[in-house]
């Protein structure tokens, strides 16, 4: 008798899958949540040096951050002519602004004279003037003032004197930029995310109600990956295992949209890591965590599940807050965490009440990064559109709890933050058996491996395009297979 090895990533945890829960719904589940896919990403380890090496960070800066679509700001922050936001990523900087004609543009933030950054702060201006020598450009990027222009006949009124532009796109109330003028359009790169949100989730008419950015003592990939899987819940967030199906989370990779992936964690069911507990215990744990209710405050009737009871309670609580009738909205939209990820570093949540969006960027060294948390809320019916919330900046030594408006989310975030510096330091330890790599799971962490592979592709293509040797990146590459 012969046995066949299971296909890579085909093994799943015991217990109900996300799609099993969808099939048991009594309400219609949005088509986007029925659209799931998995593509094996191999089993090869990922070199640790991708998280710690300044050489590898420089390759990312040169060939990845300069060629990918990144969220720069919200549309509300650049509504009027002259409104602008400075978006810095790695060693690059652009100015996103609104012209007098109402067009959105993104200019490289560098004076064409001697390279001075034109703007370091957000705000509103009538033009962009270099503080060093006074060269000035209008909102359309045309050079309109050059002191001692007689000395610059090779510059003044030449086409090359206009500020060079990055690509710009808008979606879901956000402004995206791509520093590569030849890159594929945002619509093509993000098409799965765009399709899902347009058909199944309402994100229109939202405003930025909260925004905090924190410097984190870990590589940007370490930080991003901590929010890309539910595998860490059992050890990092043990307070939620009684009502979170962590090991049954669903991870989607679509072959026709490789830059968009999704992670779904179901709530209102117990973790498969636990011995069986009652539906009442599941409900009690959920309400104790989310509403600080005493155990037994809400009864699970015979024949019903904790998931159904909790979802109905949240429908009743959220309907008046959101100003919409949630009676026909599915349990999964009410309860579950649906976190999309647009490579490399943009992650919007989907579902009722799921207003969070994450963004990650590299810090000044490979050992630090910046993480943004935004809350995009629906504009209340009949009310004037609120102004976008100001950005709260948190230093390395500050806690998410110091961000006003972060709420109970800060407690969960601080559990994650406690891990990150330990990860960064541990990645530098040289083990006795010389294992200098990270071992990702075949299913639960496949999206993480895939994102790393996409970066390999961009760096290799860039080196080839520039006629540089691939030997520069070979020590950092993920082996095939």
> Treating both helix axes as pointing N-terminal to C-terminal, what angle do 54-63 and 446-465 enclose, rounded to 10 degrees?
70
Q: Quick one: pLDDT band at residue 120, thresholds 50, 70, 90?
A: very high
- Mean pLDDT of the region 345-364: 93
Give this prediction's pTM: 0.95
72-178 shares the fold of 18-40+185-426: no
Average pLDDT taken over every residue of the chain: 94
Residues 6+ apart with CB under 8 A from 347: 224, 227, 228, 339, 340, 341, 357, 358, 359
Q: Name the DSSP letter for residue 30.
A: P
Q: How does pLDDT run across 226-274, given as a tens digit for each residue?
A: 999 999 999 999 999 999 999 999 999 999 999 999 999 999 999 999 9
Q: Quick one: pLDDT band at residue 379, thresholds 50, 70, 90?
A: confident
Q: Does residue 1 register a pLDDT over 70? A: no
Contact assessment for residue 89 and residue 178, using Cβ atoms and an 8 Å cutoff: no
- Mean pLDDT of the region 22-30: 96
Of 196, 213, 205, 199, nearest in space to 348 by CA: 196
pLDDT-above-70 percentage for the chain: 99
- Mean pLDDT of the region 26-55: 96
pLDDT at 97: 98
pLDDT at 111: 98
CATH code that applies to domain 18-40+185-426: 3.90.380
From 8-22, 312-326, 388-402, 442-456, the region with the lowest mean pLDDT? 312-326
How far is the CA of 372 from the CAs of 77, 142, 375, in angstroms? Answer: 16, 33, 10
* Domains in the chain: boundaries: 18-40+185-426, 72-178
Q: How does pLDDT run across 166-211, given as a tens digit for each residue?
A: 999 999 999 999 999 999 999 999 999 999 999 998 777 889 999 9
Q: Quick one: pLDDT band at residue 157, thresholds 50, 70, 90?
A: confident
3-class DSSP assignment, residue 98: strand
pLDDT at 2: 55
Residue 341: strand pairing partners: 261
Q: How does pLDDT run across 265-305, given as a tens digit for each residue?
A: 999 999 999 999 999 999 999 999 987 777 777 899 999 99
pLDDT-above-90 percentage for the chain: 86
pLDDT at 3: 62
- Mean pLDDT of the region 454-466: 97
Give dist(CA 452, CA 456) in Å, integer: 6
CATH code that applies to domain 72-178: 2.102.10.10
Residues 6+ apart with CB under 8 A from 442: 8, 9, 11, 40, 41, 43
| CA 400 centroid distance within chain | 17
């Amino acid at each position: 008798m012969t046995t066949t090895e299971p296909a890579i990533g085909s093994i799943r945890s015991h217990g109900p899958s996300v799609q099993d829960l969808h099939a048991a719904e009594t309400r219609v589940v949005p088509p986007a949540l029925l659209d799931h896919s998995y593509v094996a990403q191999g089993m090869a380890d990922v070199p640790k040096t991708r998280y710690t090496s300044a050489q590898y960070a420089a390759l990312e800066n040169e060939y990845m951050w300069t060629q990918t679509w990144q969220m720069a700001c919200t549309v509300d922050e650049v509504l009027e002519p002259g409104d602008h936001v400075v978006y810095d990523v790695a060693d690059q900087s652009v100015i996103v602004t609104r012209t007098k004609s109402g067009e959105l543009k993104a200019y490289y933030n560098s004076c064409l004279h001697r390279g001075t950054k034109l703007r370091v702060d957000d705000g509103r201006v009538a033009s962009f003037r270099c503080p060093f020598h006074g060269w000035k450009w209008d909102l359309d990027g045309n050079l309109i003032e050059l002191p001692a222009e007689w000395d610059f006949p090779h510059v003044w009124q030449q086409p090359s004197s206009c500020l060079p532009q990055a690509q710009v796109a808008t979606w879901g109330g956000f402004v995206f930029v791509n520093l590569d003028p030849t890159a594929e359009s945002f619509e093509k790169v993000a098409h799965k995310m765009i399709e899902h949100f347009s058909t199944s989730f309402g994100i229109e008419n939202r405003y930025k109600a909260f925004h905090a950015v924190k410097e984190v003592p870990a590589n940007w990939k370490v930080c991003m990956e901590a929010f890309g899987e539910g595998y860490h819940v059992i050890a990092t967030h043990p307070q939620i295992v009684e009502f979170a199906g962590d090991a049954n989370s669903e991870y989607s990779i679509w072959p026709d949209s490789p830059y968009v992936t999704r992670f779904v964690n179901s709530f209102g069911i117990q973790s498969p890591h636990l011995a069986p507990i009652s539906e009442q215990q599941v409900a009690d744990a959920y309400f104790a965590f989310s509403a600080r209710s005493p155990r037994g405050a809400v009864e699970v009737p015979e024949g019903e599940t904790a998931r159904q009871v909790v979802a109905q309670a949240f429908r009743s609580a959220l309907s008046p807050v959101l100003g919409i009738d949630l009676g026909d909205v599915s349990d999964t939209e009410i309860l579950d965490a649906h976190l999309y990820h647009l490579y490399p570093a943009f992650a919007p949540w989907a579902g009722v009440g799921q207003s969070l969006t994450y963004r990650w960027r590299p810090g000044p060294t490979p050992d630090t990064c910046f993480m943004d948390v935004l809350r995009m809320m629906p504009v209340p019916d009949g009310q004037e559109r609120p102004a976008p919330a100001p950005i709260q900046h948190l230093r390395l030594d500050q806690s998410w709890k110091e961000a006003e408006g972060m709420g109970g989310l800060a407690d969960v975030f601080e559990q994650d933050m406690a891990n990150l510096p330990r990860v960064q330091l541990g990645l530098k330890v040289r083990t006795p058996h010389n294992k200098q790599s990270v071992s990702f799971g075949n299913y639960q962490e496949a999206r993480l491996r895939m994102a790393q592979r996409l970066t390999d592709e961009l760096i290799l293509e860039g080196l080839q395009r520039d006629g540089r040797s691939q030997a520069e990146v070979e020590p950092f590459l993920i082996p095939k297979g």
